[in-house]
Amino acid sequence: MPSSDPLVVVAVSGRALAQSAVRSRAPIVILDAFADADTRRAGHAIPVGLRQGIGIDGQRMLAALARVTDGRNATIVVGSGFERSPRWLDRMARHGRLCANDAAVVRALKDPDIISELLRAQGWTVPDTQRTPPTARAGWLQKRIGGAGGIHVRRAAGRKHAAHHYYQREVAGTALSITFLADGERAQVLGCNRLLSVALGSLPWCHAGVVSGVSLPARLVASLRDRIDRLVRVTGLRGLNGFDFMLVGDDAVALEVNPRPTASFELYDPDFEEGLVHWHIASFAGPLRGFVAPDERSTARALRIVYADHETAIPADVAWPAWCRDQPMPGTTIPAGAPVLTVVASGSTPDAAELELDRRIESIRRRIAPRAASDATVATGAHP
């Protein structure tokens, strides 16, 4: 039965969380950077993005949060955008019941020294990681602490050291992730995914999408489940989370823990009648009871971001196919290099799902071919 108290989604892009939540909750308010067309259909969307660039303006967000909660018993679901500044989580908690991992947990999991030692102690293989620049930088990456979406990752060779950055030895392999739901005691693994990236200008590894349905050797799957369970018990993680790693031969080399709902959760949401956000919220109340993750799935699902190759005007009469997500508002202009929208597809295997993605993306690119943008409003794009 829908609640009369508001559920507020706060994220760089809150569309997927809102669409999941609306299946079991109402009313929904979304505070994000875009207020895309399909986000607005899921609830009352309020843009709180930065004036320049893609991200959340903390002060705008808090002001909007105070207005929409207004002393009511609000539930606040937090997505991406706060790993770099976890202090905002504590401030959001003053306005309602916060469904997000504690700021101290997020801060620790994003500290390169702490997370490296923690993962090694639990049996993970971890690349060499350090805060100071290596003497010889070839073969090393430079990353920003709390960075997300791959836009903070560069090869270290030839780059100056910058504050709040660290260094990690580059690993050759297949980039994968685990999507899981935690309740502070154990993890429910939803599945393994292939991570997609794209080079944009000087950014070699921008997040471009994810494909579910990846099969791994049974022994490795059992090991991953056991180690993620232990990670949850040690850290107290709750809710939807992600774990990124490189598959090198038959070994998993740990890269990153994402202590919040990742874009991949959307690939599993259709398997749950109530929506996964229902279970995400429940995990912050205590042990999960009644949650059952499907053992086998006959369908692989995939999503990929379409980035603008050039300044792109969105036609006023645009009609997006049902398989488009994060739909920009008609009449806006997407700057070159910014995300335009997200395309989803499915198939009997991960490769089949990717092939269908390719076909659909080509169709979208034909729709957004260059055209005059003189009457459009400049926007920052859409992002999962």
pLDDT tens for 42-86 read 999 999 999 888 899 999 999 999 999 988 889 999 999 999 999
Find out whether 140 and 169 touch, Cβ atoms under 8 Å.
yes
Hey, what are 106's tokens? Answer: 């997020």
pLDDT (0 to 100) of residue 42: 97
pLDDT (0 to 100) of residue 378: 35
pLDDT (0 to 100) of residue 95: 96
Whether the CA torsion 104, 85, 164, 200 is positive or negative: it is: positive
pLDDT tens for 185-230 read 999 999 999 999 998 877 788 899 999 999 999 999 999 999 999 9
Find out whether 369 and 310 touch, Cβ atoms under 8 Å.
no
- Give the mean pLDDT of the chain: 92
By C-alpha distance, which of 312, 346, 344 is closest to 330? 312
Q: Which residues of the chain have pLDDT under 50?
A: 1-2, 372-384
Q: Is 29 exposed, middle or buried (0-12, 13-18, 19+ CB in 10 A)?
A: buried
pLDDT (0 to 100) of residue 53: 81
Please tell me the pTM assigned to this model. 0.93
What is the distance between the alpha carbons of residues 230 and 107, in angstroms, rounded to a whole number? Answer: 19
Find out whether 116 and 248 touch, Cβ atoms under 8 Å.
no
Farthest CA pair distance, the chain: 60
H helices present in the chain, as ranges: 15-21, 37-42, 58-69, 87-92, 103-109, 112-121, 218-235, 265-268, 276-283, 350-367
